[in-house]
Structure 1
Amino acid sequence: MSDKRKPATPKETSRYQPRATSSRTTYILAGAAVAVIAALVVGGIVWNSHRDSGGVDEAVLSENAAQIIGAPSAPQTIDVFEDFMCPVCHEFEQQSGASITTAINQGTLRVRYHMLNFLDNQSSSGDYSSRAAGAAQCVGAGEDKEIFLKFHSALFANQPKEGGGTDLSNADLARIAGEQGASPATQKCVADGAKVDEAKDAADQSETQLSKATNGQVATPTVLSGGAPVDGIMDGTGWLDGLLADKG
């Protein structure tokens, strides 16, 4: 594990009080009140002091999304922040993925997907989150929304175990993309890891924007609406029903 995310000692942990976004286990990056150099990783909670605060930049959120799906005329736009290694993100996909897809298809929702990578060090390869995010960039660039959404769901369905002894290779990711209907060109993009560096840059920019929206505390999964965090996203689909109802 890198110095940036080395495990904290019990004494270090006791100085911080995380504010979870749900009643369930949540993956958090948060800005500490005092400057520290090393991030702390304990029990799925990651603390990082070098995060900005202030208003969200809508242009940056658009530019760094792995994929934007839904009609530009949709009355509601949300930003969804996930990490493909995050088990709670898998649960979020199981709970809300179908409802999100239905709302997109009905023209009532536009979604900007942001794939973060702060759980790289929890994967066997040390870079699975980044490689999976790069694969999503390939599929987002080369395929239509249906294939992207199928691939997005398939990666969570095939999610490696956090801290496990193995994860998916680029060849595995390419195979899964092909099973969802991705073209040979897109599969080659995935297999070659052609967009991993792009995905890393996008993850960093998206993480910074999320930090601005949450006063330095970043968690996956998180949903933003109008640049503000949405509450209750792990309590079923009521959060989405409420957003859509608010927009008529």
Structure 2
Amino acid sequence: MSSNTTYALAAVALVLIGAIVFAAYQWGNDGPPPVRNEGYGPVHDPAVQVSTTPDGVIRLGRPDAPKTIDIFEDPLCPACGVLETSYGQELAQKVDEGKLAINYHYVTFLDDQSKSKDYSTRAFAANLCVAQAGSGPTYGKFHETLFTTRQPDEGGADLSNPALATIATESGAPESVASCITGGAQLDAARAAAAKNLADLDTRTGNKSATPSVYDGTTKIDWSDENWVVTLAP
């Protein structure tokens, strides 16, 4: 069996695992969790910073936040949209209060489920462009928008680079960020980082990667428990 075929089969398996997990989540609940802290919005304290590591992990939070959690997500993942819709505002308040920081680890195994066949990678690259500008509130707004009101449906039309750039500008990013997105400046970095993030998630899950996955250190968090955020950061 060729390596290309092996990778293709592995990608299909990962998509199926994610779909099964999401279906099981919906089956076990009478719909998505309620929206927590509705009306708070995304991060808006200017003291909140955003930065990227050499491995492409995006950190959102105050430098002295006492707790940092890790969230693995794919920009096209429907359950990731549920996570952001239901808990994003509560997380934002904890970040603004300095109680919590978030490391976002993007994976892109749903690329083939997008019409363009590379939406997850392009959206990750756009996140890197916005994050490297350094404004926590701008990044928070951009991230929230991509996973809620503007998240594409699997198999449907997705967002072009100019559309992603427009969302970045509307979120408060400067023109240099829009140029970074439309020019695809971070695409190679996104591809490399996504591979590392997936390897990290595979290690954590015993090669049963699925998104979203939330970790407090090495402990996997059950985000279907509606009190998980306040439990982590009272």
Q: Paired residue for 1:175, among 158, 166, 173?
A: 166
The answer to whether the 8 Å contact 1:25/1:88 transfers is no
| Structure-1 separation of matches of 2:126 and 2:53 | 18
| Structure-2 separation of matches of 1:177 and 1:8 | 29
Q: Paired residue for 1:162, among 154, 161, 170?
A: 154
> Counterpart in 2 of 1:48?
none
Q: Percent of pairs identical after alignment?
A: 36
Q: 1:12-161 residue pairs with structure 2 within 5 A?
A: 20=21, 23-24=24-25, 63-156=54-147, 157-161=149-153
The answer on 1:230 being equivalent to 2:231 is no
- Once the 2 structures are TM-superposed, how far is the Cα of residue 235 of structure 1 from its aligned partner? 3.8
The answer to whether the 8 Å contact 1:74/1:108 transfers is yes
Structure-2 change in CA distance of 1:172 and 1:85 (3 Å):
same
* Structure with higher helix content: 2
- Once the 2 structures are TM-superposed, how far is the Cα of residue 214 of structure 1 from its aligned partner? 1.6
Give the RMSD, CA atoms, in angstroms: 2.7
| Structure-2 separation of matches of 1:240 and 1:123 | 31
Give the unaligned 5+ runs of structure 1: 27-60
Q: Paired residue for 2:228, among 239, 242, 245?
A: 239
TM-score (norm 1): 0.74
- Once the 2 structures are TM-superposed, how far is the Cα of residue 109 of structure 1 from its aligned partner? 0.3
The answer to whether the 8 Å contact 2:61/2:102 transfers is yes
- Once the 2 structures are TM-superposed, how far is the Cα of residue 82 of structure 1 from its aligned partner? 0.8
| Structure-1 separation of matches of 2:102 and 2:72 | 10
Letter in 2 for 1:215: G
The 4+ residue runs of structure 1 with deviation greater than 2 A are 2-9, 18-23, 61-66
Count how many residue pairs are aligned between Structure 1 and Structure 2: 201
Q: Paired residue for 1:218, among 197, 201, 209?
A: 209
Give the unaligned 5+ runs of structure 2: 28-51
The answer to whether the 8 Å contact 1:62/1:112 transfers is no
1:45-72 per-residue CA deviation (whole Å, 9 max, x = no partner) reads xxxxxxxxxxxxxxxx954344211123
- Once the 2 structures are TM-superposed, how far is the Cα of residue 128 of structure 1 from its aligned partner? 0.2
1:197-245 per-residue CA deviation (whole Å, 9 max, x = no partner) reads 10111111111112212222211111111122112x1343x11111124
